[in-house]
Amino acid sequence: MRIDEAFSVVGPDAAVDEAVDAGYRPTAERVRELAAGDRPVLVRCAAPPDAGGRREPVELAEALALVSVYAWLGARVFATEHPRAARQALDMVASVRGTRPPAVARRGLV
């Protein structure tokens, strides 16, 4: 998979050759350190699989919180079970950071 966008969202078990895999729910310090390098950072926002290969489902709110915080810290690739909602959260983070214009700009002037 190629990384062409500011942020990319992949499935929970996807492998991304170009990215440094930070693992499942890494610490903020680890993400910051890896993001300081030249390669994009992959963060897995899903629960790690158990010994049988099964994984517990992650609540939507939990996944979006993880995606948003890791994006703010500098991660660029996110593995999650909720790709559509994660993409919206990433668009919001980019808008708040000022790297993407908001979808709709309205002023409160009459």
Q: Which of helix, strand or coil describes residue 55?
A: coil
Residue 59: inside a domain: yes
For residue range 24-52, what is the model confidence (pLDDT) as tens digits?
A: 999 999 999 999 998 999 999 988 888 78
Residue 106: inside a domain: no
**Rounded CA gap, 105 and 100, in Å?**
12
Query: The domain containing residue 19 runs over which residues?
Result: 8-97
- By CB atoms closer than 10 A (0-12, 13-18, 19+), residue 37 is exposed
Residue 110: inside a domain: no
Residue 41: inside a domain: yes
Q: How many domains does the chain have?
A: 1
Q: What is the pTM of this model?
A: 0.82
**Rounded CA gap, 77 and 64, in Å?**
14
Residue 109: inside a domain: no
